[in-house]
Structure 1
């Protein structure tokens, strides 16, 4: 997933909350060009706290961009989303594609009154901005904005006490709120499979707001380690591991991100290949799996068929605190992607028995309209 070795302050950037993390015992590691906290009290404890209470994550390494609404058609040439049909303040998951149909990045995009608001991955944001510039798309990089995520079943109750109206949002809805005097953009979304919010706010307010949220006994700071195990249980891909420039949306089991009109009209980067795969299927598919025993099989492990032939690779692997078992994701030949298929994994000469599992491995608990809280 990422290095867990502490490194000296060299060429890495610091988050607005860098001192805040260190003061609270955050173990800082290099990730996406930044010093970031991998854990505080321990990955398993932080994972379980988020599943039962509320975890506060600092994701300020991610890129926040604002594109003028007049650039809608130009954006649609890079993304397979139906931007023309999007309603205001409704975030949508989408993909930045290359001309071969490969994924340059996965991102969140929201139509706001002031433009298209994009949240892109930290490790790829410079490249993403270069792609936009090459396409003649103007944008503003919101480098003075921090980004926090409050996740877990108690998260919305916590923040609603300080930002009235947030509790009225449903999953994948967003809006501007006064958060204890900070002008914040809050979306009911996240990367854990739990209910919760993501909060964009001025970096100058980040310490104060983080302290305020942490003053609630239901909230604890959570590091990258638990963020990874949570998203893996939720079946959510991590760019640079489960997604890359050689992976198409169909291979990645992300057909939902190619919106209905775009499947008919095309007109986006890599459309010919992607639409052919929509019709005919892709030769490989992203799967989730469980592993017998207690030892996880990490990224790079080989996936074998019954005769010992390599049919795929592990792209993410780890121990699931919720299931108390090793789990992972990877790519296999599509014929082997059916849930229940037995697989053999190989890593460092050792063989492991695995079974293709349904995603998500742990059910999502998003708050949707018409459902109980």
Structure 2
């Protein structure tokens, strides 16, 4: 560590992923993100984005925190911290949920999987240490939390993902969206889930760090698969209307303001018992003062995070994510506006370099999701 002269604090060096050398050998342009050196692009963001929409892209998301929780009544312990129905989660099913602060603000969004003998929790890389501290402090002593740092995480996304992955892990072929499984590859235990953050069909694969490169090589040897960087991951998730923690969500925003009411399960709406339940259930019943919305931008000028939103001369909100959307063919954004401006079709404007850019509130996702769901349901 080195000392930061301006603050007197020790500066934490940027960490490297287990696949750091692999990314560099593939031509990845590395940038700092969530405390790690990560590839922002290989061939180019536009080309990589469109490749994922038409083929299969391989993302390294090993910066995310992979946790395992075991012990007596883990589901009840988790339900004291999140608004989802964890007790009702069937084995090898997963649920998107939210780690909530005492006032109902979102500390992180995460994925929870019932693995039968334990619960797996995947948290965002930028706040994983805060999440781990929060969980350790608030979970009962008889619940054991393990941080699986010896495992990396890959995401294979796109319409050809299932066909490609099935050549290496045949078990994946029969899975559906938000289903998980354990499997083996070349004698190594791996975890699978049919999930992802691009809006496309795809999988996340948890593997021991020592076999990540070999597995990535085996996938990228297929014509349908290419490595994809952070830049396209961001534009893909934006088109899919998926919020990014630390940008579109934070500890001041509750689930209703964040347009994530679906994450509050029916039983929890009736029973409460989660942090900030009074605030959240009040907003659920009566509406919140502000809401996360999608924005279609007129013209070709991208509207970026931090841009102020206006109705005439009145400042009404802020953009939290934005950029050019390759599959839409135009700039898009998401941000927060008052409830009475949140109706799709509402005309507002964003301020970009002193200029007002017309925008229209739009329903999300901007392009349809292509998840493979259980037939008949």
Q: Name the counterpart of 1:289.
A: 295
Q: Name the counterpart of 1:357.
A: 362
Give the superposition deviation at 1:69: 4.8
Q: Name the counterpart of 1:3.
A: none
Q: Name the counterpart of 1:159.
A: 165
Q: Name the counterpart of 1:77.
A: 80
Q: Name the counterpart of 2:147.
A: 141
Q: How many angstroms apart in 2 are the aligned matches of 1:268 and 1:326?
A: 38
Q: Name the counterpart of 1:367.
A: 372
Give the superposition deviation at 1:140: 0.3
Q: Name the counterpart of 2:220.
A: 214
Q: Name the counterpart of 2:4.
A: none
Deviation digits for residues 84-123 of structure 1 (CA, Å, limit 9, x no counterpart): 1110111110000001110000000001123110000001
Give the superposition deviation at 1:319: 0.1
Deviation digits for residues 3-23 of structure 1 (CA, Å, limit 9, x no counterpart): xxxxxx970111010000000
Q: Output aligned runs, 1:328-367, within 5 Å.
A: 328-367=333-372
TM-score normalised by length of structure 1:
0.95
| Contact 1:180/1:209, CA 8 A, preserved across alignment | no
Which of residues 18, 21, 25 is equivalent to 1:19? 21
Q: Does 1:241 align with 2:247?
A: yes
Q: How many angstroms apart in 1 are the aligned matches of 2:200 and 2:78?
A: 30
Q: Name the counterpart of 1:113.
A: 116
Q: Name the counterpart of 1:87.
A: 90
Q: Name the counterpart of 2:196.
A: 190
Q: Name the counterpart of 2:323.
A: 318
Which of residues 147, 153, 178 is equivalent to 1:172? 178
Q: Name the counterpart of 2:107.
A: 104
Give the superposition deviation at 1:347: 2.4
Q: How many angstroms apart in 1 are the aligned matches of 2:82 and 2:139?
A: 15
- SS state of the match for residue 84, structure 1? coil
Q: Does 1:37 align with 2:39?
A: yes
Q: How many angstroms apart in 1 are the aligned matches of 2:54 and 2:92?
A: 28
Q: How many angstroms apart in 1 are the aligned matches of 2:310 and 2:276?
A: 30
- SS state of the match for residue 15, structure 2? coil
Q: How many angstroms apart in 1 are the aligned matches of 2:215 and 2:187?
A: 9
Q: How many angstroms apart in 1 are the aligned matches of 2:119 and 2:84?
A: 13
Which of residues 35, 58, 61 is equivalent to 2:60? 58
CA root-mean-square deviation: 1.2
- SS state of the match for residue 129, structure 2? helix
| Contact 2:78/2:139, CA 8 A, preserved across alignment | no
Which of residues 273, 276, 280 is equivalent to 1:270? 276
Q: How many angstroms apart in 1 are the aligned matches of 2:85 and 2:176?
A: 21
- SS state of the match for residue 139, structure 1? strand
